[in-house]
């Protein structure tokens, strides 16, 4: 029997990794472009890039951990409530499960038979999956999400940092933009392939928004640089 490839089990860590990598590339490059537009020396550009990578990675990890932890708390609370309901009124919960299966297209007799069999096997797991939409593949994992975000941000942020180290200072804005768009396109391609989605659409989306972000940063840097004594 041929194995089927499914992508939903990757959704948790893939979302965090893609967000981290893209944010690492885009935020670091935008920061460097803003500084480069206002400075004629390399030192402040490199310092800004290094500080941006460090602060961004920690911020992404903390934000993702808090966000996913909140989701995990909600899931645990729902599971606890569902367990209490199964213990206090199992008949009502069984009827609720039968109703769910009927809405999905099963006839009443078959829906009852399926509900009874799955309830006997593992009532809480069945209600978690079919009533609450919680399963092992999509269940929140705060630590994994935080780690994926931090590491991917660092990887993404190192690319603009390396460009800041070696690109000519006089053409830093152009180099940062060109390489960042290339990096974003590669990131979008890998993310789309890993998630089984449309590659051109993913690449176009991130490149357009990346261009807007870097253009805005360049404008801010240029305006403040012109006004600086």
Q: Which tens digit of pLDDT belongs to each residue from 182-192?
A: 988 887 787 77
- pLDDT of amino acid 102: 86
Length of the chain: 229
Query: What's the confidence (pLDDT) of residue 7?
Result: 46
Predicted TM-score (pTM) above 0.85: no
pLDDT of 1 higher than 80:
no
Token readout for 155 is 């990887």
CA distance 217 to 48: 13
Of 50, 21, 60, 37, nearest in space to 165 by CA: 50
| Cα–Cα dist 177/195, whole Å | 26
Which residue is listed with tokens 């981290």?
Answer: 20
Region of 175 please: left (phi>0), alpha (psi -120 to 50) or beta.
Answer: alpha
**Residue 152 CB coordination number (10 Å):** 24
Q: What is the mean pLDDT of residues 26-31?
A: 89
- Please give the pLDDT value at position 142: 82
pLDDT at residue 13, as a whole number: 55
Query: How open is the CA angle 16-196-25, to the nearest 5 degrees?
Result: 40
């Amino acid at each position: 029997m041929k194995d089927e490839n499914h992508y939903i089990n990757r959704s948790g860590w893939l979302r965090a990794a893609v967000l981290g990598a893209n944010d690492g590339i885009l935020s670091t490059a935008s920061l460097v472009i803003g500084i480069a537009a206002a400075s004629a020396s390399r030192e402040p550009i490199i310092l800004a890039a290094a500080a941006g990578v460090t602060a961004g990675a920690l911020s992404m990890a903390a934000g993702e951990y808090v966000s996913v932890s909140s989701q995990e708390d909600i899931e645990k609370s729902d599971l606890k409530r569902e367990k209490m309901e199964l213990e206090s009124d199992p008949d009502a919960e069984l009827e609720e499960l039968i109703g769910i299966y009927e809405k999905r297209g099963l006839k009443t007799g078959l829906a009852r038979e399926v509900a009874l069999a799955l309830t006997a096997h593992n009532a809480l797991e069945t209600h978690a999956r079919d009533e609450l939409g919680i399963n092992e593949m999509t269940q929140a994992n705060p630590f994994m999400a935080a780690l994926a975000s931090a590491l991917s941000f660092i990887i993404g942020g190192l690319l603009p940092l390396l460009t800041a180290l070696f690109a000519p200072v006089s053409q830093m804005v152009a180099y940062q933009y060109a390489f960042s768009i290339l990096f974003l396109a590669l990131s979008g391609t890998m993310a789309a392939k890993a998630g089984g989605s449309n590659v051109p659409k993913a690449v176009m989306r991130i490149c357009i928004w990346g261009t807007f972000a870097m253009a805005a940063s360049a404008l801010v840097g240029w305006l403040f640089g012109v006004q600086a004594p």
